[in-house]
Structure 1
């Protein structure tokens, strides 16, 4: 393994290969199509192919063909080996001396305490999916969670189809507004226990690294705003998105959070994000 480590570090020493690696880490455990990676990073297909091949040769990225599409994901075992090597060799087996000053180290495998949890949902426009997630969690388990939402490039107004669905489901829309994530980066912002990206565009962008013991995951799903057709067809798309998010939120609120260690909890929320369920909730 020691022979592989210098090659991996050398590969990550290239700024654009590192940017590709970081993007795949933000999207883990998703397998991302090459076309989406190229678009997110502003790379030509042949340039992306060169960078991906270098990461694959270093053992840091794996490839899978789905139909005619090539999809890529982080090889987490190799990544952990590399990080472990650095911690043991460079930090003398003491990760606390290599921890950034702004980070509060998690307490090993200790479970999260039984209390009210702060949850942030991030989308690009903060006009539909993240607003759905905020509203659903607030009404589904407001006694256990405090739900927030924000956008990396928020719209000035919430999507009217999204608002109509929320009104039909009995949610209070008066408390909703579109917000930029900068609102939650100030010194007096809440400390978040969970941060979820619910659209691919937001996950592809440089979302802030949340300090403390935040657990994050990608729960991306198709954008109902992009559906074309009649108003009835558009409304159906928003209904299906609402239903899919409610299914995921039900799975999340059913997790025994207080009794799970952090690794198990992270795996659990990752698995929820891998769910492909779609459905209309009446």
Structure 2
């Protein structure tokens, strides 16, 4: 099928339409309610509808109905078809333009260098701390693990720390920290960067050096749950269990043998499993 490159690129030429697409790509594979997109980007509902219609017409966004509401998700396949086709047809497949990004992870194959992983959430007080501790425990020396927040709390959530200690995790040295501590890291960069809360994924963040594999593993915020201590602890247990399942699946991946494209698909598949 012949692609109308001018109209497709035109859909990306509007700054706010591009912001909508970038947010949905950060949340992929989630399908996000239109109201949440509007609130996160401070866009009026009718204006957002026009943006989404243009992006859907270009094949960059999909729509699904959930009861009475509509949810929207980015379409990496649609974007890939546009850019792959453009480079192949318009640029005649020049190897200096069409190399792609499906290489190996940071040249880690065949070495004893650990994969560097960063978990992000907003406060860095519970969910990303859980993920940090879990990967360190399950993955062992294969991984160098860190966590940070886009707007970190002043201290870790006490119930989160208590639960980690009860499960046998080492909690000394854990602290809430801002992601800026890692953005200018003198090391080679991260191999994987995961967001574990929707709010952090909704935010526009600078690109990480080293072109890491990125993933969004949406996890309900246990800190936001109110009620009895038992009800609150149940929320923390639920978040911990979701992350434990995903991290166990991640650790089981043959990271040393998959290229970046296959790894990205595998990380997205893990996000779809609760």
Do both share a fold (TM > 0.5)? yes
- Asked whether the 8 Å contact 1:65–1:71 carries over to 2, the reply is yes
- Asked whether the 8 Å contact 1:106–1:213 carries over to 2, the reply is no
Residue in structure 1 matched with residue 82 of structure 2 by the alignment: 82
* Partner deviation per Cα, 1:81-130 (whole Å, 9 max, x = no partner): 1111332355442364489xxxx955379996154111000101111100
CA distance in 2, matches of 1:270, 1:50: 28
The equivalences for 1:30-69 within 5 A come to: 30-69=30-69
- Asked whether the 8 Å contact 1:132–1:245 carries over to 2, the reply is yes
Residue in structure 1 matched with residue 256 of structure 2 by the alignment: 258
Matched residue SS, 1:65: strand
Residue in structure 1 matched with residue 23 of structure 2 by the alignment: 23
CA distance in 2, matches of 1:122, 1:257: 21
- Asked whether the 8 Å contact 1:121–1:195 carries over to 2, the reply is yes
Residue in structure 2 matched with residue 229 of structure 1 by the alignment: 227
Q: CA deviation at 1:21?
A: 1.0
CA distance in 2, matches of 1:108, 1:2: 32
- Asked whether the 8 Å contact 2:5–2:86 carries over to 1, the reply is no
CA distance in 1, matches of 2:80, 2:210: 21
Structure 1: runs of 5+ lacking an equivalent: 277-282
Q: CA deviation at 1:67?
A: 1.3
Q: CA deviation at 1:219?
A: 0.5
CA change 1:211–1:94 in 2 (3 A) is farther
Residue in structure 2 matched with residue 279 of structure 1 by the alignment: none
The equivalences for 1:90-239 within 5 A come to: 91-94=91-94, 96-97=96-97, 106-107=102-103, 113-114=109-110, 115=112, 116-189=114-187, 191-239=189-237
Task: Tell me the matched-pair count.
Answer: 272
Matched residue SS, 2:256: helix
- Asked whether the 8 Å contact 1:120–1:196 carries over to 2, the reply is yes
Structure 2: runs of 5+ lacking an equivalent: none
CA distance in 2, matches of 1:199, 1:129: 8
CA distance in 1, matches of 2:191, 2:104: 16
Matched residue SS, 2:148: strand
CA distance in 2, matches of 1:97, 1:261: 19
| TM-score computed with the length of structure 2 as normaliser | 0.92
CA distance in 2, matches of 1:190, 1:111: 11
CA distance in 2, matches of 1:69, 1:168: 41
CA distance in 1, matches of 2:90, 2:209: 23
CA distance in 1, matches of 2:73, 2:165: 39
CA distance in 2, matches of 1:78, 1:270: 16
- Asked whether the 8 Å contact 2:134–2:247 carries over to 1, the reply is yes
Give the CA RMSD over aligned residues: 2.3
* Partner deviation per Cα, 1:153-188 (whole Å, 9 max, x = no partner): 111111111111111111111120111111111151
* Partner deviation per Cα, 1:138-165 (whole Å, 9 max, x = no partner): 1112211111001111111111111111
